[in-house]
Chains A and B, each alone.
Chain A
Amino acid sequence: MPQVRILAEQVRFVSVETDSFKTGRISVSMALPMDEKMAANSLLIYLLKRSCKEYPDFSLLNGKLDELYGASLSAGVTKIGESQVLSLSLTCLDDRFALTEESIAEQCAELLAGMIFSPNCKSGSFGADNLNAEKRLLIQRIEEELNDKRTYAFNKCIEYMCANEAYGKDKYGTIEEIQNVKMADVYSAWKNLLSTAVFQITVVGSASDKIADIFTKKFSKIERNPVKPETVFIKRGRHFNRYEETYPVNQGKLVIGFRAGMENSRDNIHAITVMNDIFGMGTYSKLFVNVREKLSLAYYCWSRLVASKGIVLVEGGIDTDKEKKVSAEILSQLSDLRNGKTDPEVLESSKRSLKEKYKFTTPEGICAWYAAQVLEEDIVTPESVAEGVEEVTMEQVCEAAKKLSIDTIFMLRAQEEAEDED
């Protein structure tokens, strides 16, 4: 069971003390509403990662990380429900392995806290060069993510499905918004972050008391007015729509978006998790066994549950001209799932497999599990979810499947060969 402490208003410190690993992990998650400030927030997190007051240059900061035995620093922007969550994380060698008497974990915590609270910022400016560089890098990052057509189609389906909800927006903000961000916007985003974001500091490893003290001191100087982001849950798909785009690629990508009938991120979560797993996650799942193994229609065809928004997405890489056949098969498998046409052994397989998935074997895995709960009122352990999953019955699986309602289809079509030549 992790230790949970509150360091300041809406600042939670979650630590898992362990000496099982050779590394430790410290991660700071900062949750903000998805509003017009998203682009500025995204740029901010990468500026904070670029340098800080103590190491005011990209190379100096990276040099320091190398000296800390190759500590690895990462920044991230994700959507958790309708919240934009910024994060800064460090993985470092455990103190036991240092070549000299030093605490790597404490140095890393100081460094991480310094990056957030004492950035490389003079009189309201992070430096025009730095901002421009991060704008360029962020736009390139977005473009690179879109180079992978699987990700592109997946995001596109969500964009259409949630066009009238905040969730339909890109996690980074749009390219145009990023281009228009001004220095003052980033500075106010930083002020806003310290004051209003919901924070969670997650630590896996040793020295957690000292790390908590380091962050407590920093927050004691901040006036907090936290704003908790809220997510809209739509229980049923209202009107079914299909969208398509054509690209000169080899393989088509089909994405089907469903509403899961959830009212909040933990609503009926155990049954929905098992249902989704049987539908299209495991090698025993309906989609794997039928779409792939029986019909050879795809190399991958799986379903993903996004509990923080109450949606399920099914995706597959397929031949464009087989779209109808594949979607019909997916829906027919869903119908079997609803009608209880599932081998009881598959339910057991799913429970066993899920139980394994909740056994994390790396500090990163453990840390990510807890960090993802930044917006939840209370922290749940993987063990308690495993227990919940164990209790799920076939009837509950069928009921959960009946609540899935189709909302949107997005098809990325591969241009036919003949059109391919100029």
Chain B
Amino acid sequence: MKIKQLTNEKLGETVFCAVHPSGLEIRVMPKKGYDSAYAVFGVKYGSIDTALQKESGEFETIPEGTAHFLEHKLFESEDLNAFERFAKTGASANAYTSFEKTAYLFKGSDKIEESLEILLDFVQNPYFTQETVEKEQGIIGQEIRMYQDLPDWQVMFNLLRALYEKHPVRIDIAGTQESIAEIDADLLYGLYKNFYNPANMVLCVVGAIEPEKVFDIVEKNIKETDGRKIERKFEKESAKPVKDYVEEKLSVACKQFLLGYKEDVSGPLLSLEDELASQIMLEAIAGKSSPLYKKLLDEELIDLGFGTELFNGFGFSCVMMGGTSADPDKTVSILRSEIKRMQKEGIDPVAFERAKRKTYGRMVMGYNDIDDTANLMMNLYFNGYEPFAELEACKNITLEKAQERLAVLKEKSSAVSVISPIE
């Protein structure tokens, strides 16, 4: 493997990158002064993958929640399960599924190389039976129920369902009780074979480990498969939301809302510059030091949990803002009119500079944390970027660019999701 070294001088960090003949991308950032290492082995297969491209190029529909279900099942094995194996090294292992990926990870300070071998091994060797798949339906069923009771989760998915008509970002990551009932062992093995091939995966390791060791372990432990990169299908969504208002009653004490602006995306992914410019723009117009935030707080319409977010991925991009509010309607109408006003009058240059500085500072701070850094490196890879690309991109964001991203928020493309107490 040819090893490429990338250094960010200001940050004082270096990443070693290589591509294994199987197509697996490897990125390693050794960190001085750290006892522990964090490794994440990710596959580009998440909850939005509700269709699988066959070799003929056609797409076949698959049930909702398969990526998450497989995540649970890969820990199982014929002999010792993955948790039992990690228990021997002391590393704490876990996994998560998001909209666009499934990630398997561990963190440990002792026997790091052994843990890395276990990680590569268990993810590459599925073993489960129809009986254990059925057992898992019970556990995942409880997980789904738990999320259904969480207002933060519900308010977001209700918004996504209001904004998106077709895009699978509208479905719950774990699927539904009904969709997981459709999942059986054969289906999972078939999906595993397609999605879990090294060409569709990345390994990122950060912390107390020598890059050469990681490359050695990969050489010895990655199986060559005839795998191919999985392509996703980009289908353009209508610019209009499905509904402009949704409300659900839950057993809560106070109302909660999210206002979402759907972006009319023309391609599958936003550029990194667009992403960062949106983040800085949102910080400048509605961050904690903005006049808008103060106004809403003074009028007792929001609390300190109010926040904004650019939420984007393959084929979807929207801006969300919200939190707890005694009067979501009034809050939303102020937010909408203030956004319109700022679109006309422009972002305050002082606020822009401050927001940019904050965003940059927070990104640098993120490199403290080996967990965050490894996950960031994985995300950059899956989106087609080199390590540290986000720091460079941040420096280049101009006020005009932020203004452009503000102009993307269109009222006719917006929707509101509200959770209110059961009377």
Contacts and interface: CB of A to CB of B under 8 A. Distances in A.
A144 to B, nearest CB: 6
A21 B142 contact: no
A21 B368 contact: yes
Nearest to A144: B324
A328 interface: no
B36 A361 contact: yes
B349 to A, nearest CB: 14
Contacts of B31: 20
Contacts, number: 177
B357 A284 contact: no
Interface string A96-109: 01000000000000
Given A63-B354, A248-B422, A353 B90 contact: yes
B332 interface: no
A284 B83 contact: yes
Contacts of B135: 296
B136 interface: yes
Contacts of A163: none
A27 to B, nearest CB: 16
Contacts of B361: 68-71, 93
Contacts of B324: 140, 143-144
Contacts of A71: 361
Interface residues of A, number: 64
Contacts of A149: 149, 251
Given A251-B142, A352-B90, A356-B110, A140 B254 contact: yes
B182 interface: no
A143 B254 contact: yes
Interface string B132-153: 0001111110110110111100
B34 A247 contact: no
A148 B33 CA distance: 38
Interface string B381-403: 00000000000000000000000
B289 interface: yes
Contact of B289 (A59, A97, A148, A300): A59
A22 B33 contact: no
Contact of B142 (A18, A133, A317, A361): A317
A63 B293 CA distance: 12
Nearest to A351: B90
B367 interface: yes
A283 B151 contact: no
A160 B400 CA distance: 58
Contact of A296 (B107, B139, B148, B256): B139
A250 B360 CA distance: 42
A5 interface: no
A63 B352 CA distance: 12
Nearest to A316: B142
Given A18-B33, A147-B151, A362 B369 contact: yes
B364 interface: yes
A166 B139 CA distance: 37
Given A133-B300, A296-B138, 5 more contacts: A69-B360, A70-B357, A296-B137, A349-B87, A361-B370
For the complex of A and B, the 5 pairs showing the least CB-CB separation, nearest first, are A352-B90, A69-B361, A296-B138, A20-B33, A70-B358
25 contacts: A22-B367, A59-B289, A59-B293, A69-B357, A70-B359, A70-B362, A72-B362, A136-B303, A137-B303, A144-B303, A144-B305, A146-B253, A284-B84, A284-B87, A296-B138, A298-B139, A298-B142, A352-B88, A353-B87, A355-B90, A355-B110, A356-B109, A361-B38, A361-B371, A363-B368
Interface of A: 18-23, 58-59, 62-63, 65-72, 91, 93, 97, 129, 133, 136-137, 140-141, 143-144, 146-150, 247-251, 282-284, 292-293, 296-300, 317-319, 345-346, 349, 352-353, 355-357, 359, 361-363
